[in-house]
């Protein structure tokens, strides 16, 4: 085992000779215990990197999907140069295990009319010389008051920010906004708006006790006091709600095309204009979602999806709640995600413009890492699948 640990360490440090790679390859093909192989590679990975590993349930699925296939499917083909020095069975096993350890799985197949077998492209070592970097986003937002004046929240001092209508606006040391009832009473309805830019996020506690989290490039418009027989707010972007229960005052969330109604529950609404669907995901309680006269009810674990293209409202079961809520929990979590879907998140969180040279790289990616990660570190996972990039100021160029 000492010899194998040495070889794997040499592989990760990019110092492995051809003979050493062949020796390591023979050991992997003969290794019967996946746990032993995983332990060896994981030890080397921890030594050479600082990325978060793929969770167990995801790694098991990757292994099952790849190792249990008697032959490779022809579907999901991508162009590219494939070099295979070992039998396909070896590359299947090596790619699966390395994908588990590295926390990134690329489904990348290539079919050649001039070959008799389909081969799988394996990850390449991390490329050197990648330049540029961008810091991750943080707690950044702008508060627009009822009179149109604005407050840049990250620059505002902690404590009271003033009064709006019947409430005091407090910024605690924790870096969020809290609306609390004031001693004075007025009949005037005052609306405030909190807006996060690209690279920003923020948390708000509304006057009824409802807690709200805004993702990057999002907004929440709300009355500073909920009068009448309902509570209604308007959002753009992506917002997570933990609604305070009040049976006499339903809580309404209005997007451009969807209305969500609840009494008290936990749910997430994703309504970015550049996404193909608006999604409402229910974590706890019950909600109704309406669009153009049609209304559907959701139970925990279900998601309402509204297609921008077809204006169709559908209910989807078995949603991966961890993936949907990753942003709120400070994570990137991709499960068979396309490059374009990932880059839309990257663009919003790092406040960069994404440009593709040579077209959008094909394939699907699975991985998990902290959102508190610099852009260059985050992008290292893609260099393993022969995808190159460069950063020029606030522009991220992806190259095939």
Contact 320, 335 (CB under 8 A): yes
Residue 136: both structure tokens together: 């991750």
Instruction: Output the CA torsion sign for 32, 34, 36, 42.
Output: positive
pLDDT tens digits for range 295-323: 999 999 999 999 877 678 899 999 999 99
Element (H or E) spanning 41, and its range? Answer: helix 34-48
* pLDDT for position 61: 43
Cα–Cα distance, 233 to 222 (Å, whole number): 5
- Mean pLDDT (whole number) for 120-138: 53
Residue 342: both structure tokens together: 């990932």
Half-sphere exposure (Cβ direction) of 55: Cα atoms closer than 13 Å: 13
pLDDT tens digits for range 25-43: 667 656 545 567 667 666 6
351: left (phi > 0), else alpha (psi -120 to 50), else beta? Answer: left
> Which residue from 177, 207, 210 is spatially nearest to 194, judged by alpha carbons?
177
Cα–Cα distance, 71 to 56 (Å, whole number): 25
Least confident range from 148-152, 276-280, 291-295, 352-356: namely 291-295
Mean per-residue pLDDT over the chain, rounded: 76
Instruction: Determine the topology of domain 138-324 in CATH.
Output: Jelly Rolls (2.60.120)
> Which residue from 331, 310, 315 is spatially nearest to 279, judged by alpha carbons?
315
Cα–Cα distance, 284 to 355 (Å, whole number): 39
pTM over 0.85: no
pLDDT confidence bin for 122, thresholds 50/70/90: very low
Instruction: Determine the topology of domain 49-123+331-400 in CATH.
Output: Phage tail protein beta-alpha-beta fold (3.55.50)
Contact 325, 240 (CB under 8 A): yes
Cα–Cα distance, 98 to 28 (Å, whole number): 11
Cα–Cα distance, 301 to 306 (Å, whole number): 17
> Which residue from 287, 278, 291 is spatially nearest to 241, judged by alpha carbons?
287
- What 3-state class would DSSP assign to 373? coil
Q: Where does the chain hold its CATH 3.55.50.30 domain(s)?
A: 49-123+331-400
Q: Where does the chain hold its CATH 2.60.120.1440 domain(s)?
A: 138-324
């Amino acid at each position: 085992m000492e010899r194998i640990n040495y070889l794997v360490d040499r592989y990760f440090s990019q110092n492995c000779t051809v003979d050493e790679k062949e020796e390591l390859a023979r050991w992997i093909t003969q290794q019967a215990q996946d746990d032993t192989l995983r332990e060896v590679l994981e030890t080397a990975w921890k030594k050479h990197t600082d990325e978060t590993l793929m969770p167990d349930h995801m790694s098991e699925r990757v292994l099952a999907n790849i190792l249990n296939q008697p032959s490779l499917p022809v579907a999901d083909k991508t162009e590219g140069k494939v070099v295979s020095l070992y039998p396909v069975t070896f590359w299947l096993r090596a790619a699966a295990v390395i994908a588990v350890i590295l926390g990134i799985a690329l489904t990348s197949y290539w079919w050649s009319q001039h070959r008799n077998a389909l081969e799988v492209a394996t990850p390449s070592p991390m490329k050197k010389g990648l330049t540029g970097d961008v810091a991750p986003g943080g707690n950044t937002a702008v508060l627009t008051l009822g009179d149109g004046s604005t407050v840049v929240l990250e620059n505002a001092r902690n404590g009271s920010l003033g009064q709006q209508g019947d409430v005091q606006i407090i910024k605690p040391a924790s870096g969020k906004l809290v609306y609390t009832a004031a001693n004075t009473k007025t009949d005037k309805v005052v609306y405030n708006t909190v807006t996060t830019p690209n690279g920003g996020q923020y948390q708000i506690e509304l006057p009824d006790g409802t807690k709200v989290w805004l993702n990057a490039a999002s907004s929440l418009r709300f009355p500073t006091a909920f009068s009448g027989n309902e509570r209604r707010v308007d959002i753009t972007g992506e917002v997570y709600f933990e609604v305070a229960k009040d049976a006499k005052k339903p809580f309404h969330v209005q997007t451009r095309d969807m209305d969500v109604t609840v009494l008290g529950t936990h749910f997430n609404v994703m309504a970015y204009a550049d996404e193909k669907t608006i999604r409402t995901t229910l974590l706890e309680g019950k909600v109704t979602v309406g669009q153009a006269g049609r209304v559907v009810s959701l139970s925990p674990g279900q998601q309402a999806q509204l297609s921008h293209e077809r204006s169709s409202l559908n209910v989807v079961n078995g949603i991966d709640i961890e993936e949907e809520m990753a942003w709120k929990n400070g994570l990137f979590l991709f499960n068979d995600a396309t490059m374009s879907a990932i880059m839309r998140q990257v663009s919003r969180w790092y406040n960069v413009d994404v440009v593709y040279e040579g077209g959008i790289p094909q394939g699907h990616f699975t991985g998990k890492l902290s959102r508190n990660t610099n852009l260059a570190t985050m992008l290292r996972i893609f260099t393993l699948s022969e995808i190159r990039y460069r950063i020029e100021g606030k522009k991220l160029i992806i190259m095939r």
